Chains A and B, each alone.
Chain A
Amino acid sequence: MRALPLLVAAALAVLVPRAQDELDRLRAQDARERAVLYVRSGDRLRRLAPGFRSLLADLYWLRTVQYYGAQIAYSKEKKFELLQPLVTITTRLDPRFELAYRYGATFLAEPPPRGAGQPEAAVALLERGARALPDSWRVRQDLGFSHFFYLDDAATASRVLLDASRIPGAPYWLVTLAAELLRRGGERETSRLLWQQIYEQADEAPIKENARMHVLQIEAADTADAIGRAVEEFARQRGRRPASLPELKASGWPDLPLYDPGATPFEYDPATGQVAVSRRSPVWAPGYARRPERSPIRPAPSAAPVTASPQPTAHGR
């Protein structure tokens, strides 16, 4: 008789994780990603929260980050429609919230699925940030980078970076960078230089990770170009294109990688000879895929990704 409660308890204890697993599965299946923002005016909120504006800005910033994270992690549509109003409210509540301008602009500018794909909104946010924080060279640096990366405007980017370099405390390399942008605006190599710079300089994990991802994307695009050149060489030697990349690799290019840094096979079209980073790859990015014509491609043997391991963990981390 005494054993009965124990048996019941044991049965129930087994049932709890089973039910939880089922609930998690169904919740993931039924997930509808809807969020709502009731008050869209930051200035109105400022008036509503006298004495608590910074706290409210913090709360809105937390919500912004949660919203962005949830869209990235769980949303199928990844629309980021509330991102801009959330960031705007946060920065209206606390106009000196430097991090909100910088992170917010990154979240906004990155193309889908990693961001809202609103580079103009990102630039507008950073311009507002630059006005609100006249002593922040970092906000101006981000503004310059955004002009270069997202709006393809090397001249403005260079001018903004020069402005940033004049602020006390700004690093010396901003001037060099500004000059380099002006000289070789739009090249993939310059992009690599900038992202590498951001990667080395960033303290915050998401910014660092974003920069690392861009460096990997550039590496992947470089490798795709190198494989493309090998295809051309193969065709020149044998009068036909290889039927597949493994055939190419087996025909005198043993060091040729078949996987990009995201561990996804490169896509190859034997009819046209085009080699591209797969859209399924985590390191696929439209921007870098468009640029090869403008970019002076390095010879294959020295291209870093050629010797890269297909495992993504081999890169950067």
Chain B
Amino acid sequence: MAAGRLSRTAAVAMNTYRESVRERVLYNLLFFALLMTLSGLLLRDLSIRQDDRILKDLGLAAIDLFGTVIAIFIGVGLVNKEIDRRSLYPLLAKPLRRSEFVVGKFAGLSLTLLVNVAAMTAGLYFTLAVTRHPLDLHIAKAVACLYLGLLLTVALALFFSAVTSAGLAVVCTISLVLAGRFADVVRNMPEVAPSVPRALARAVYFALPNFANFDLKDRVVHADPISPAYLAWMAVYAVAYGGLLLTGAAAVFARRDLK
């Protein structure tokens, strides 16, 4: 029973992966990510003994930025596109639960992102190697954290994809991703605007997906230590928040009238 469920979910995931890899936009984004990393070679002349740091900064920023763009724009189309193309109906006619479909879609795009992020990381390491800089293993740690953040972005995009139209889903996802990156501002709001109730600011702070949790780029570039406890809690946060979004997406999609 469980094995069957798993294999059906895996089939949806692989299908999603194959489909998203066929999307030309992925190659374009990958191309730009690599281009951005390589442009670090030119930028280094503008700095004073900071070229390896710029390369790492730029490379990690590119991975973050392009990964987020991929997660949002492919993620919001995961459910809606299937409905628009009417390719969802034959799928649901098969013994496939809607929740399995949602989880499979999530897993498929996660796999696509994994491949992309891995390729971009390889590009960054390649650039460092070519410019004769040490291959800093901490970069991989930062990338792993970024990847967790990207998974949360996918879950967010998928949730909105299941809830509303593609256009609105893009707007909602981008808004929440941006708001989530400035979550600390919300937390500190009562300090600068005392009229904002502390409880409200705290509630909004916890409700927002806090993407700042996954941003360890600066700390990794400066070789600051990151405690294992932090990494563990980050993973807990990603699983909890992502799980909540996927549960919500599955629940909403299960009740959605597709006629």
Contact = CB atoms under 8 A, between A and B. Distances in A.
B247 interface: yes
Interface stretch (A34-42, A114-122, A212-220, A221-229): A34-42
A283 B82 CA distance: 65
A304 interface: no
A8 interface: yes
A15 B229 contact: no
Interface in B210-232: 210, 213, 218-219, 222, 224-227, 229-230
Contacts of A30: 219, 224-227, 230
Contacts of B241: 12, 16
Contacts of A17: 206
A20 B213 contact: yes
Interface string A248-283: 000000000000000000000000000000000000
A32 interface: yes
Interface majority SS on A: helix, strand, loop or mixed? helix
B47 A9 contact: no
Q: Which of A12, A15, A19, A23 has the most CB of B within 10 A?
A: A19
Chain B, interface size category, equals 20 to 34
Nearest to A22: B233
A12 B54 CA distance: 38
B93 interface: no
B122 interface: no
B25 interface: no
Interface residues of A, number: 24
Interface majority SS on B: helix, strand, loop or mixed? helix
Contacts of B3: none
A268 B251 CA distance: 68
A131 interface: no
Interface in B7-53: 46-48, 50, 53
B69 interface: no
B190 interface: no
A44 B206 contact: no
Nearest to B235: A19
B188 to A, nearest CB: 8
A5 interface: yes
A7 to B, nearest CB: 10
B237 interface: yes
A60 to B, nearest CB: 15
Contacts of A26: 227, 229-230, 233
A15 B234 CA distance: 12
A19 B214 CA distance: 13
B230 A27 contact: yes
B244 interface: yes
A317 B183 CA distance: 29
A12 B251 CA distance: 15
B115 interface: no
B213 A23 contact: yes
Nearest to B248: A9
Contacts of B206: 16-17, 20
Contacts of B47: 38-39
B244 A13 contact: yes
Contacts of A19: 233-234, 236-237, 240
Contacts of A5: 247, 250-251
16 contacts: A9-B251, A12-B240, A12-B247, A15-B236, A16-B237, A16-B241, A19-B237, A20-B205, A20-B206, A20-B210, A20-B213, A22-B233, A23-B234, A32-B219, A38-B46, A44-B46
Interface of B: 46-48, 50, 53-54, 205-206, 210, 213, 218-219, 222, 224-227, 229-230, 233-234, 236-237, 240-241, 243-244, 247-248, 250-251
Interface of A: 5, 8-9, 12-13, 15-17, 19-20, 22-23, 26-27, 29-30, 32, 34, 36, 38-40, 44, 48
